[in-house]
Amino acid sequence: MIKTEVIPLGTSSATPTRERWLSATALQRGGRILLFDCAEATQFRLMAAGLSPARIDTVLITHLHGDHFFGLPGLLTSLSLNHRKEPLTIVGPRPLANVLTQIPGLGVDELSFTLHFVELESGEGRRTVVETPDFTVEARPIQHRVPAWGYRFQEQTLPGNLDAERARGLGATEHEQFRRLKSGSDITLSDGRIIRSADVVSPPAPGASFAYVFDTRPCDQGVQLAREADLVYHDATFASEHAERAVRTGHSTAAEAARVAADAGARKLLLGHFSARYQSTDILVREARRVFENSHAAEELKRVLVRQV
């Protein structure tokens, strides 16, 4: 099984602090990287995490507030200066493509590589924005002060495992017989006996899943993104004492983030996008755990397995 892990690169909201940087999160799978948001100084955080920007395949931007995408021009410039040749996909709300390509040095003919934009339109519903043989990423609109989208990374369903010893005990002896059983087909032996695939192959298992739900009020689309996810990383800007401010600014409290995870039947919750007023995240974790026990504060550069083995 390929290891998939999430690395928070910045966990602060709006402005950086001495201890926290602005929003960016890397998902690493098999040496390749998906980058969720790209605030200023993301390049430095990638270096601090020991991640090569050259391995980034896709950048997914939630919304066009500067603390979520102002690091993208610098990252693109550095990739070009290092002679990147592979295309890079950038997903985000319109007019992200126009904003970026108007910056000197980032025009269509000025980079060493091709930018492939997937732009999300206001009023658009659920949409698959990345699709590979191994995983997909879907986007859903979430509730913020400006058009914003959350994302769900979903590995493809894993085939069941063949119990070869049991199959041999039932009479299978040939490679082709094992192959057909593994693929889900029943086989008939020379003496007429039938070995059912379901008797020797475990059921298919859903692949690992990760939901990235920043910046947002708790909302139905956020719950759908988090539905039975192995790991949910959710906006938890404020403690409950600032619930009114959370509503006014289009953010969530830690307790509200926990309610989204609980309603979605998620397995683990990471809290992030912390207001600079909190030097410690202990109060946020305590509030979240009253609602959803498996809640944790994201720690910058600390790797988190999407699915615990």
pLDDT tens digits, residue range 143-160?
Answer: 999 999 999 999 998 788
Residues 219 and 195 in one domain: no
Separation CA 148–CA 206 (nearest Å): 28
Residues 178 and 154 in one domain: no
Q: Which of 200, 227, 256 is the C-terminal boundary of a domain?
A: 200
pLDDT mean over 268-274: 98
Tokens 């082709």, located at residue: 176
The residue ranking higher by pLDDT, 206 or 231, is: 231
How many domains, the chain?
A: 2
Residue 137 has pLDDT above 70, yes or no: yes
The residue ranking higher by pLDDT, 254 or 204, is: 254
Residues 261 and 153 in one domain: yes
Residues 6 or more apart in contact with residue 202 via CB below 8 angstroms: 160, 161, 163
Residues 180 and 247 in one domain: no
Residues 210 and 279 in one domain: yes
Q: Which of 200, 227, 250 is the C-terminal boundary of a domain?
A: 200
Residues 178 and 32 in one domain: no
- Are the beta carbons of 276 and 14 closer than 8 angstroms? yes
Residue 205 pLDDT grade (very low, low, confident, very high; cuts 50, 70, 90): confident
Catalytic annotation, pick one of 67, 215, 230, 235 = 67
Residue 139 has pLDDT above 80, yes or no: yes
- Are the beta carbons of 191 and 114 closer than 8 angstroms? no
Is 230 assigned a catalytic role? Answer: no
Residue 1 is predicted with a pLDDT of 67
Instruction: Report the range of poorest mean pLDDT among 149-163, 226-240, 278-292.
Output: 149-163
pLDDT mean over 11-34: 96
Could you give the strand order of the β-sheet that contains 209-213, starting from the edge strand earlier in sequence?
A: 127-131, 135-142, 148-155, 209-213, 231-235, 269-272, 295-297
pLDDT mean over 10-22: 96
Residue 265 pLDDT grade (very low, low, confident, very high; cuts 50, 70, 90): very high
Residues 293 and 168 in one domain: no
Residues 94 and 122 in one domain: yes
Residues 170 and 259 in one domain: no
Residues 125 and 151 in one domain: yes
pLDDT tens profile 84-105: 999 999 999 999 999 999 999 9
Instruction: Report the range of poorest mean pLDDT among 10-19, 203-212, 214-223.
Output: 203-212
Residues 224 and 264 in one domain: yes
pLDDT mean over 255-284: 98
Residue 204 is predicted with a pLDDT of 83
Residue 108 is predicted with a pLDDT of 79
Which CATH number do you get for residue 250? Answer: 3.60.15.10
Work out the mean pLDDT of the chain and round it to a whole number.
Answer: 95
Residue 109 is predicted with a pLDDT of 87
Residue 308 has pLDDT above 80, yes or no: no
Residues of the chain with pLDDT > 90, as a percent, come to: 89
Q: Which domain holds residue 195?
A: 164-200
Residues 93 and 78 in one domain: yes
Residue 309 has pLDDT above 70, yes or no: no
